Amino acid sequence: MAENKYKFNQETLQYEHAGKSRRKKIINLVLSQLAAALVVAFIIFVIFSYVAETPKQRALANENHILAQQYRELLQRKKNLDQYMQALREQDKHIYKSVFESTPEYKSDNITDIELTTYNMHALSDSSTAALRKAVKALQAQNKDYERIVKLLKSQSTEELSKIPSIQPLYNPDLKLPVYGYGSRIDPFYRAPIEHTGIDYAAPEGTKVFATADGTVRSATLVRANGNTVEIDHGNGYSTVYAHLENFACHAGKKVNRGDLIGYVGNSGKSLLPHLHYEIKYNSKPINPVSYFFMDLSPENYDKIRYTAAHSGLSLD
């Protein structure tokens, strides 16, 4: 409790209660007004933060707007490319009728778009912008592959087109066979990173293996770690390799057409389990085979196998 103070009044000859000095009154008044101003400023700041965008939110909003526009443009380009690919598949259905004794039933070619809404300014975050960046980047990469292939195909005659690998080497239209991808992978034997120059199909022994384009069998022989291996020269810079076979259905020097039987899946050579190792080379350099599966897959399944192959961490050899 504060101590009461008194002073002696010489006029009344009495002690009287001592009030606050003028200085203290001024100080107290200033402090009270300052406190009130701080409260008002805090309330204004809170309200302003909900109705006005920060520089970061403004930057995110601008970036999202640009990315969304890019994404829509890329989707339209992809749809145009899909239409061209669909026309090529229609021309190539005779392969299924003559080799697989069936006609592939393509699903709808509609492209699943990510939801591009008008973002609420307060819902913007680094993660939402990063997700949109990732979608744009993935679509740019896919369109780049598409455009490269389309440009190549448009420049070729019908006879030359038949020499470009463009189907899966196994009958796998529904993608039930597991696919292990191209690129940096983990060696199943040495547990170390390796550069996997093809893709692996895990398939039962004896599964039929087909030539993916017209050409001449360069070799059909045992090749160390690859086991029983067929290599086909397509005469246009392209060659294909089919490894770990159980048996051959061709020989060196034989001319083959796309869809011809050339061997059977096995477990020969350095192999974790029965599978087919498949490679495409252009001018002796390996390229990703998945980019060349456009003839016998719908856009939906083409996207699916690209994703599956890209996210498989192992190789089978």
Alpha carbons 317 and 314: distance in angstroms, whole number: 9
- Say whether both 68 and 38 belong to one domain: no
> Domain range holding 110?
55-155
Q: What tokens appear for 211 in the block?
A: 């030539």
pTM over 0.75: no
Length of the chain equals 317
- Say whether both 187 and 296 belong to one domain: yes
**How many structural domains comprise the chain?**
3
- Say whether both 147 and 238 belong to one domain: no
> Is 13 a residue whose pLDDT tops 60?
yes
> Is 64 a residue whose pLDDT tops 50?
yes
Mean pLDDT of 135-148: 66
> Is 126 a residue whose pLDDT tops 50?
yes
Higher confidence at residue 277 or residue 308? Answer: 277
- Say whether both 185 and 305 belong to one domain: yes
Furthest CA-CA distance within the chain:
135
Residue type at 278?
Answer: Y
Q: In this predicted structure, what is the pLDDT of residue 184? A: 85
Q: In this predicted structure, what is the pLDDT of residue 120? A: 42
State whether residue 184 is helix, strand or coil: strand
Alpha carbons 52 and 58: distance in angstroms, whole number: 10
State whether residue 55 is helix, strand or coil: helix
pLDDT tens digits, 191-214: 888 889 999 999 999 999 999 999
- Say whether both 113 and 23 belong to one domain: no
